[in-house]
Amino acid sequence: MGHQKMVKTDLIEIMPKPEVSVRCVNCQSQAVDVHGYLFEGIHVLWDCICPNCNTIFYQTLPISHDALFPIAFSKDGLKSNYNKRAEVWLAKPLIHAVTRNIIIRPAIEIKQFKEFGEAILLNCLDDCFGHVYAKLWNAQRLLEKYPEKSVIVLIPRKMQWLIPEGVAEVWLVDVRFKEMEKYIANLDDLVKKEMARFSHFYVAVAPVFLDTDKVDDYKFLKVEKFELKQFNDLKPQVTFVLREDRFWHANRMEEFLNRVLIKFKWQRYFRRLLVWRQNKLVKQAIRRIKASSYEISFVITGLGSNGSFGRLAKDRRVDNISVAIEREWCEIYAKSHIVVGVHGSNMLIPTSLAAGFIEILPEYKISHMGEDTVMRYSGRYAMLLGRHVDAFIHPALLAQHVLHMLNFGELYEEIESNS
């Protein structure tokens, strides 16, 4: 199955006149009877039966990633149709959750602020922080375009601090990211019950690839981003965003060994060693930078607390995240001349707020380059302040990139004076 064409509308009507376009997963007939919807969690599904071959199956609505990678599967799991590129991270988890009854029943809280006659459900549920945040960006456009409708945000509870003002309702699902791939068994009944309050009910298409130039980060983060005109006025600050499950490796052998550990689920037994190795690379880079200038301050953020950076950097890593920590980190990023992190280290917010970024990009993630960073500038500024570097970059070379970027202030004044 190839990529489905992007849906042109912002909304899919669920009630009172459902919009349906389905082919049978078995015989490809278009004469399919759709007798309902299933609000599974991350996905919304058409519940279908084919009169031609009597196959009972589900088909994803073209929402968010499902608009790019549609998924269809029979209720017994024997027939399926999806893009192989989405097999591991999107299709298989959904099919297994539904057909094998891999369920959870988390608490779901509804916070209602106002109500209109029609409603739009913006489903931001996902097992990846960056995906949730990218889906949530759609709230800005929906609020601007449909002020007469109730915009309802369905989101993991731990991310409610990002919800912009103006939404009519927030539906908070109390579940951890790693549990989100499971079928949320109590969600379907809740949505269908709440739908009855409205004359019309829509699901937002919520594309995950938006023009970030049109996203007002302040509406979500409530923090002013780094102002380039202050680049030379503020003491240089470099922030490393680290995780204890995504690593900066020194060479291909280290990366290979880590992937073997992941495959056999042994990584947790060697985590301290892997973190120690990553921390060593970060320390080497910091020392190289400090050798050129002692006026630069360094901060470390991220989940996990193994190892120590001593006096080299202010260590603001934590084992458990909280809203207070999230907001503290945002303030740190907004004061950072450069943020540095490995692809997948939740870089959307840091790159939204900092002046510039360096992303360490593994080879197998090249096709996803740019998905977890926000390029705030165009033209020459984009080239100078946004960099993707090799996964095995040597600390000395990373230090060169940092030092060159910290000279941006002089270039900025020259460019602005000639504009």
Render pLDDT for 75-133 as a digit per residue (tens, 0 to 9): 999 999 999 999 999 999 999 999 999 999 999 999 999 999 999 999 999 999 999 99
User: Both tokens of residue 104?
Assistant: 């959870």
pLDDT score for 168? 98
pLDDT score for 418? 78
Place of tokens 């602020």: 113
How confident is the model over 327-337, as a mean pLDDT? 98
Residues forming beta bridges with residue 29, ordered by sequence position = none
Range 223-417 classified under CATH 2.40.128: no
How confident is the model over 129-143, as a mean pLDDT? 97
- How do beta strands 150-156 and 118-123 pair? parallel
CB contact at 8 A, 126 and 184: no
Confidence of residue 6 (pLDDT cuts 50, 70, 90): very low
- Name the percent of the chain lying above pLDDT 70: 98
Residue extents of the structural domains in the chain: 1-211, 223-417
How far apart (Å, rounded) are the C-alpha atoms in residues 343 and 359? 6
- How do beta strands 56-60 and 44-49 pair? antiparallel
411 phi and psi angles, rounded to 5 deg: -65, -40
How far apart (Å, rounded) are the C-alpha atoms in residues 291 and 285? 10
- How do beta strands 169-173 and 150-156 pair? parallel
Cis peptide before 350 (omega within 30 of 0): no
CB contact at 8 A, 33 and 53: no
Per residue in 194-213, pLDDT (tens digit) is 999 999 999 999 999 999 88
31 phi and psi angles, rounded to 5 deg: -90, 65
Using alpha carbons, list the distances in angstroms from residue 122 to 30, 63, 164: 28, 10, 13
How confident is the model over 380-399, as a mean pLDDT? 94
pLDDT score for 413? 76
At 283 the three-state DSSP class reads: helix
pLDDT score for 5? 43
Average model confidence (pLDDT) for the chain?
Answer: 94
- pLDDT for residue 380 is more than 90: no
- In sign, the C-alpha dihedral spanning 287, 292, 295, 298 is negative
Per residue in 283-320, pLDDT (tens digit) is 999 999 999 987 999 999 999 999 999 999 999 999 99
More confident residue, 330 or 19: 330
pLDDT score for 345? 87
pLDDT score for 54? 95
pLDDT score for 7? 42
How confident is the model over 166-179, as a mean pLDDT? 96
- pLDDT for residue 186 is more than 80: yes
pLDDT score for 383? 87
pLDDT score for 377? 86
User: Both tokens of residue 378?
Assistant: 């165009």
State the DSSP string of 116-156.
Answer: -SEEEEEE---SSHHHHHHHHTHHHHHHHH-TTSEEEEEEE
pLDDT score for 2? 39
Residue type present at position 374: V
pLDDT score for 105? 98
- How do beta strands 200-204 and 11-15 pair? antiparallel
Using alpha carbons, list the distances in angstroms from residue 343 to 18, 279, 388, 417: 39, 16, 9, 35
User: Both tokens of residue 58?
Assistant: 């589900």
How far apart (Å, rounded) are the C-alpha atoms in residues 162 and 140? 12
